[in-house]
Structure 1
Amino acid sequence: MKLSIIIPFNRYIHYLYDCLESIKNQNLTDYEVLLVVDAIEDVKDKIHKYDLPITLIESGEATVGKKRNMGLNLAKGDYVYFLDSDDYVLPNCLNALMKEAKKSNNQVVAGKRMVSWFKKKVYETMSDETNIERNLKDKDHDRLEKVERKQEEHVYDSEPEQFKIDLLIRTRHALRNVSCLNLLIKRSLIEENHISFKEEFFWYTDAPFVVELLKYTNDVSFVEDALLVKRKHNDPINRPALSQIKDPDGRFDEFIEAHNYCLEISKDYPSIHYYINAKMANYFTSFFAKKVRRSEDDKWRTTRFDTMAKVLTRIEPELLKKSLYRRRLSKACMNHDLKKAQKIIAAHLAGVKAKKIFKNKNEMNKYLYRHKYKNEPIQKNLIMFETFRGASYADSPKYIYEYLAKNFPGQYEFVWVLNDTKTKLPYGGTVVKRMTRKYAYYLAVCKYFVFNTRQPLWYRKREGQVFLETWHGTPLKRLAFDQEEVTAASPTYKAQFYRQKQEWDYLIAPNAFSSEIFKSCFMYKDEGDTMLDTGYPRNDLLSDPHKEEIAKELKKKVGIPLDKKVILYAPTWRDDEYYGNGAYKFQLKLNLEQMRKELGDEYVIILRTHYYIADVLDLTGLDGFAFNLSKYDDITEIYLMSDILITDYSSVFFDFANLKRPMLFYTYDLDKYRDVLRGFYINMEEELPGPLVFTTDEVIDTIKHMDEITEKYADRYVEFYDKFCGWEDGHSSQRVVETVFEKN
């Protein structure tokens, strides 16, 4: 047999599915998969569909190291390959490694390890190579590129030992990153030298194994095109990866033990020994020192400080002299002089902070917030409002603000966060720009906060402050902790969300459906009246008895002709059109020129894209027919102007339904959006109060026959309205204010 693939598994079955699917797609022959599981019953009925030569091995509760050893003991292949159950290999990875092994007869063949928080199916649907590259790079990528360049320049031809160390150790930025993953290893190398995993290690089982490999072979080669994707877990609260499991005491102790063990087994190999110590020296100044300064756990300044002093005595002196800071700090630590070490660390971190402040003025604002403004008294009648990160004066915060100002004159002072500071507010609110010094000040001293998105990560709610989260829509797409994958944010999204929602005192629900969903997707514990089942204040306007007159005045304001019906097209953004931190792109899929030709005599169209979408729409040649109101503050006012809504997966249709006006759903990528990107909370085909259409021709035809469509969907519309609009009667703002402000 040529190849044995060893996979340890103990939880998160949906990750394993991707792993096994990726093996199936390799088109291998003459191989086996050794799947080592806690209990065979957990998986035996769930893996048959992959039709792989799988041998199930029951380990009971065991470490990854023990499971890999059990797989090694039963492996029959000439080569072994370790694969974690939450990772997957890209097409041709294993074949490329095997081909190189056959050609070179090397004992170890390494591929490239990339990092992603995307599941396999999402990755495969992404067409933008730049996007893929950005999201798959990890911290070791640049180091590996240097090794590749040296290899191309034949620098390693006379230094095979340096090549293997650079490839397997130096390209890994920390000891925990030294990994046996994506290494094809000759089984005879392992057996003849009695190499195995240290089973008692929980976090650091890989590094000693790799050091042992390096000791016994110089026959290492590298295949650039053999790609393994290391999956990041985007839900460290409910589904943490091994590296995300927190146990500061056990982890630190094991780290030191693993480091010392690696030194011991490499004591006769100076080069390996040196680079293992180099990682510890970097750890000491980049991580450990910060813990000594900032951690609330005194162990970093007592027992761990003493432990580190002993470790440093075994490190080559030249590694401790890489910088003046490292030299002074290591000397103080080895002398067990904590006070001096703390002064050195404080001075160094102050310098780092000063550089950050110089490069980014917001760092100073955050510093003042933490160290000055939070010491000032809370102003008990001061309220801060923010919508969409300062993008607009709109949404539920606007209607809560106006209700308070009208009904409680003189009782409150108001601060509005608006990036356009020239915005003129009714009722005399103060405007501050987001992420400025004034913004930081008001975050510290306001009594109340009314936000429709999450607060800044660096904000910490003070005792006595009250945070009202209005959110900004009834959820159709799965949100936060209900999403299996987060493809349009950083892998820390769920961890960040979990911490931020802890500071919400109240959360508004627009309907009973949303109330239950919010408890799940936000992991929001509804204690008493903290979930406000009031309806959305932003929809109060849709029940105004004078809404028709208001709509006419709004049309005049934006230049929409009064003698034509208005179509509103409000598409959402797609997760796979995310291309960077906070950056998105969008391509209009509706043929507006065709619509103008066939509908322009009777209709005009308003375009309203999601606030995430940065690109400006090009409406050249469509003057008088198409109006881009994407930057118009208040979408509720746009609803009033509109006779028909075209949308897709945006939550706008839940609000628009309050008007009981026709809707159609332009879902040209329904299968992809539902099955790959996000998933839905409702069955769109069966519950939506209008037809699903897939082409511009169908959109036009539906609008031309709108009377028939309205009659066809009348009963479904009634059911939809009762389920999602039943709480909204024009008095939601009043109910929120009575609960939050009058109570407090």
Structure 2
Amino acid sequence: TDNDDANDGSDDTAEEDSDEASGKKKNRDDFEDDSEDSEDGSGDEEHDLTPEELENLRQAVIRKAYHELVSKRKGIRGISVLNILFKRSFLEENRLHFPEELTYFSDVPFLMEALEKTEKFQKCYAALYVKRKHNDPVNFPSLSQVRDPNRFDEFIRVYYCTIQKLAKDSELRYRFDKKYISYYTKTFAPKIKRSSNDAWRQEHFIQMSDIVRGMSPELIHEQKRYKKRIIKALMKKDIEKSLRIVKVHLGYKKLKKIFRSKKAFSKFLYIHSFLKKPLKEDWIIFESFFGKSYSDSPKYIYEYLAKNYPDKYRFIWVINKKTEIPYKHKEIKRFSLAYYYYLARCKYLVFNGRQPVWVIKREGNIFLQTWHGTPLKKLVFDIDDINSATPKYKQQVYKQSREWDYLIAPNAFSSETFRRCFMFDKTMLETGYPRNDILHAPDRKQIAVQIKRKLGISGDKKIILYAPTWRDDEFYAKGQYKFELHLNLDMMRQELGNEYVLLLRTHYFIADSIDVSHLKGFAYNVSKYDDISELYLISDILITDYSSVFFDYANLKRPMLFFTYDLEKYRDVLRGFYFDIEKEVPGPLVYTSEEVIDAIKNIEEISKQYSQRYDEFYHRFCEWEDGHASEKVVKSVFGIEDKE
């Protein structure tokens, strides 16, 4: 955006977090050790070096420190004292202080002057202090997240403030100037073409030109190709030539990206072609769990519409696998070219999760967000610390939720919570969940028989459904999740196999993580079974932990067990709960496989023990559910009162 500071995209190398200390020692692994501090005498080898070799070693250490603390840092704002410890006497002797007139970049001149005045460094791999990242860019933004139109003026001021503290021909000055060159070519120059703010083509352009004209000719000369051309045009203050160079450069980059990536090509067409076509007033696109299944509330809203109004709408389903979907519809895959096309043209969007961040809501679009559960675990702006694999979680959800017109609440608790945690101020549909209509269907017993037959489960066996949630800290990298099963299924088969079978239903993030092939006939991995509501219907007992499934299952008034082997960690560290799980859930908390088995053997006694709590829970969380939520939602969103 026009208010971005001079940081994004201006790093010379990849960013890497580390803990460094400046002002006392050097470590041989990264910088250097003082020989007098080496107890084992390993520093004696330095006495064998000639003065020239010692000087070369000293210079190498300094270059390494400058690289780590300046060149390797992301952008100008990355030149920060964060993760650096300074010796107090060093700061006092050199009278180092932060310039109080600077708001966003005060670390820069402080650190650059400190580096100029020391040659002793030590890198520390251990965490000595821990900085918590609350990361709420909407309500409590950090300085780096504040959008301030005056930030660029300070970015210019900090340059002049810093170079006053550096020798003109020093390596530090060279590295510092190089970061401003990098900023101009990667971040500033594209704004010349893209920004609607003329300041980037007028006064800001002149300010950057004045800075670059004062840099060493050697630094300018070593720039290559595009960088050299755009910097020379800047030095001449030739905005027209700069604009031509930038247009050609960006056009070439875009073409290259389009030809190399199907997604980039599809997104190009989405923006430059599909969005320019008129909206189709009778087109509805449905997506459940990112196209992974035909399920949840979008399924039941679709089936109600398709059954009652078959010729009124055209239905598009986002589904990534071969799936049997009733009624007339069109199937497309997520992120296919068709996905971009129909997202641009459908008037109605019905999702149960967040839409892609690049989706542009058009005038006339109606976005129905069904969401996918009553929350036990804290959500979005109710979470203090983000431990998930997506650090920009809050920022993204805020942007996405601004585009929702309707949000479905299954109960009063969820209605209040959703308004707060999503900062949602549009229409809340207090109807109950369409996905729970099947739990109140008059023919639910007949449906259950069909589902058992479909899964190949014997009619004389009782069914246990185990549906654990995914833990926020269980991931390998962004978008790559893992899961470890703590329930001893072998022990359960031995103790319960004559009377029960077990259905294992994990979070859709980790559906492929569990292999139960060695427990054939007892355990079934139904994680990829599309509709968990159908699994509720056939289950006699539910075992879960912190998943929202127990709110829905309570509609059936059947017994539940809560296998909470990591309760303290999950409650106090990872996510936090909205209410006291130990006092309010309608079943016992169990912590070991042995306790789970014992509870199942005594399930009738446990049901009697928790009957009052179950009634209170049902009254609080299930009272809105009556089997007609789909009908209520359709009438509210699509403006349909009577069948045609």
* TM-score, reference length from structure 2: 0.89
Q: Distance in 2 between matches of 1:366 and 1:716?
A: 52
How do 1:361-380 and structure 2 match up within 5 A?
361-380=262-281
Q: Distance in 1 between matches of 2:631 and 2:288?
A: 19
> Is the contact between residue 511 and residue 527 of structure 2 (CA under 8 Å) also seen in structure 1?
no
How do 1:696-711 and structure 2 match up within 5 A?
696-711=593-608
Which of 304, 318, 328 is 1:428 aligned to?
A: 328
> Is the contact between residue 21 and residue 122 of structure 2 (CA under 8 Å) also seen in structure 1?
no
SS in 1 for 2:77: helix
Q: Distance in 2 between matches of 1:344 and 1:434?
A: 36
How do 1:64-463 and structure 2 match up within 5 A?
104=34, 156-159=57-60, 161-225=62-126, 232-247=133-148, 249-320=149-220, 321-420=222-321, 422-463=322-363
Flag structure 2 segments of 5+ consecutive residues without an equivalent: 1-16, 37-53
Give, in angstroms, the shift of residue 580 of structure 1: 1.4
- 1:465 corresponds to 2:465: no
Q: Distance in 2 between matches of 1:161 and 1:392?
A: 56
SS in 2 for 1:254: helix
The residue aligned with 1:622 is 519
Aligned-pair Cα RMSD in Å = 2.5
Q: Distance in 1 between matches of 2:22 and 2:59?
A: 28
SS in 2 for 1:177: coil
- 1:636 corresponds to 2:544: no
Q: Deviations over 1:131-152 (max 9, x none)?
A: xxxxxxxxxxxxxxxxxxxxxx
Give, in angstroms, the shift of residue 229 of structure 1: 5.2
Q: Distance in 1 between matches of 2:120 and 2:189?
A: 39
SS in 2 for 1:576: coil
Q: Distance in 2 between matches of 1:308 and 1:201?
A: 19
The residue aligned with 1:548 is 445
Give, in angstroms, the shift of residue 217 of structure 1: 2.6
Which of 397, 401, 404 is 1:501 aligned to?
A: 401
Q: Distance in 2 between matches of 1:95 and 1:317?
A: 31
Code of the residue aligned with 2:393 in structure 1: it is Y
Q: Distance in 2 between matches of 1:675 and 1:231?
A: 15
Q: Distance in 2 between matches of 1:634 and 1:524?
A: 28
Residues 614 and 341 of structure 1, relative CA distance in 2, 3 Å threshold: farther
Q: Distance in 2 between matches of 1:417 and 1:230?
A: 41
Q: Distance in 1 between matches of 2:425 and 2:56?
A: 60
Q: Deviations over 1:605-634 (max 9, x none)?
A: 111111011543221331111111110011
Residues 390 and 167 of structure 1, relative CA distance in 2, 3 Å threshold: closer
Q: Distance in 2 between matches of 1:649 and 1:461?
A: 34
> Is the contact between residue 390 and residue 419 of structure 1 (CA under 8 Å) also seen in structure 2?
yes
Q: Which region of structure 1 is more displaced relative to structure 2, 226-235 or 710-719?
A: 226-235
Code of the residue aligned with 2:224 in structure 1: it is S
Give, in angstroms, the shift of residue 341 of structure 1: 1.5
> Is the contact between residue 267 and residue 340 of structure 2 (CA under 8 Å) also seen in structure 1?
yes
The residue aligned with 1:125 is none
> Is the contact between residue 657 and residue 725 of structure 1 (CA under 8 Å) also seen in structure 2?
yes
> Is the contact between residue 468 and residue 544 of structure 2 (CA under 8 Å) also seen in structure 1?
yes
Give, in angstroms, the shift of residue 154 of structure 1: 10
Residues 452 and 97 of structure 1, relative CA distance in 2, 3 Å threshold: farther
Code of the residue aligned with 2:155 in structure 1: it is F
Q: Distance in 2 between matches of 1:165 and 1:342?
A: 34
Give, in angstroms, the shift of residue 178 of structure 1: 1.5
How do 1:522-671 and structure 2 match up within 5 A?
522-526=422-426, 530-671=427-568
Q: Deviations over 1:529-585 (max 9, x none)?
A: x10001000000000011011101110011011011111010111112122122111
Residues 702 and 265 of structure 1, relative CA distance in 2, 3 Å threshold: same
Give, in angstroms, the shift of residue 487 of structure 1: 1.1
Structure 1 segments of 4+ aligned residues over 4 angstroms from their partners: 93-103, 158-161, 224-233
Give, in angstroms, the shift of residue 168 of structure 1: 2.9
Code of the residue aligned with 1:350 in structure 2: it is G
Residues 609 and 304 of structure 1, relative CA distance in 2, 3 Å threshold: same
Q: Deviations over 1:707-744 (max 9, x none)?
A: 11111111111111111110010000010000000169
Which of 511, 514, 519 is 2:414 aligned to?
A: 514
Give, in angstroms, the shift of residue 491 of structure 1: 1.6
SS in 2 for 1:208: helix
Code of the residue aligned with 1:441 in structure 2: it is Y
Q: Distance in 2 between matches of 1:505 and 1:678?
A: 27
The residue aligned with 2:631 is 734
SS in 2 for 1:427: coil
The residue aligned with 2:13 is none
SS in 1 for 2:537: helix
Give, in angstroms, the shift of residue 166 of structure 1: 2.8
Q: Distance in 2 between matches of 1:352 and 1:229?
A: 40
SS in 1 for 2:524: strand
- 1:486 corresponds to 2:386: yes
Code of the residue aligned with 1:306 in structure 2: it is I
The residue aligned with 1:690 is 587
Q: Distance in 1 between matches of 2:55 and 2:593?
A: 57
Q: Distance in 1 between matches of 2:102 and 2:35?
A: 32
> Is the contact between residue 96 and residue 226 of structure 1 (CA under 8 Å) also seen in structure 2?
no
Give, in angstroms, the shift of residue 206 of structure 1: 1.3
SS in 1 for 2:115: helix
Residues 573 and 157 of structure 1, relative CA distance in 2, 3 Å threshold: same
Code of the residue aligned with 1:495 in structure 2: it is Q
> Is the contact between residue 418 and residue 424 of structure 2 (CA under 8 Å) also seen in structure 1?
yes
SS in 1 for 2:606: helix
SS in 1 for 2:518: coil
How do 1:24-63 and structure 2 match up within 5 A?
none
Code of the residue aligned with 2:340 in structure 1: it is A
Give, in angstroms, the shift of residue 315 of structure 1: 2.2
> Is the contact between residue 285 and residue 318 of structure 2 (CA under 8 Å) also seen in structure 1?
yes
Q: Which region of structure 1 is more displaced relative to structure 2, 193-202 or 375-384?
A: 193-202
Q: Distance in 2 between matches of 1:683 and 1:250?
A: 46
> Is the contact between residue 470 and residue 510 of structure 2 (CA under 8 Å) also seen in structure 1?
yes
Flag structure 1 segments of 5+ consecutive residues without an equivalent: 1-87, 107-152
> Is the contact between residue 501 and residue 522 of structure 2 (CA under 8 Å) also seen in structure 1?
yes
- 1:676 corresponds to 2:573: yes
Give, in angstroms, the shift of residue 161 of structure 1: 4.4
Q: Distance in 1 between matches of 2:357 and 2:56?
A: 46
Give, in angstroms, the shift of residue 265 of structure 1: 2.2
Tell me how many residue pairs correspond in the alignment: 604
> Is the contact between residue 23 and residue 118 of structure 2 (CA under 8 Å) also seen in structure 1?
no
Give, in angstroms, the shift of residue 690 of structure 1: 0.8
Residues 184 and 386 of structure 1, relative CA distance in 2, 3 Å threshold: closer
* TM-score, reference length from structure 1: 0.77
SS in 2 for 1:485: coil
Q: Distance in 1 between matches of 2:24 and 2:434?
A: 60
SS in 1 for 2:517: coil
Q: Distance in 2 between matches of 1:437 and 1:347?
A: 27
Residue identity (%): 52
> Is the contact between residue 480 and residue 521 of structure 1 (CA under 8 Å) also seen in structure 2?
yes
Q: Identify the structure with bigger relative contact order (alpha carbons < 8 Å, sequence gap 6+).
A: 2
> Is the contact between residue 232 and residue 491 of structure 1 (CA under 8 Å) also seen in structure 2?
no
> Is the contact between residue 607 and residue 629 of structure 1 (CA under 8 Å) also seen in structure 2?
yes
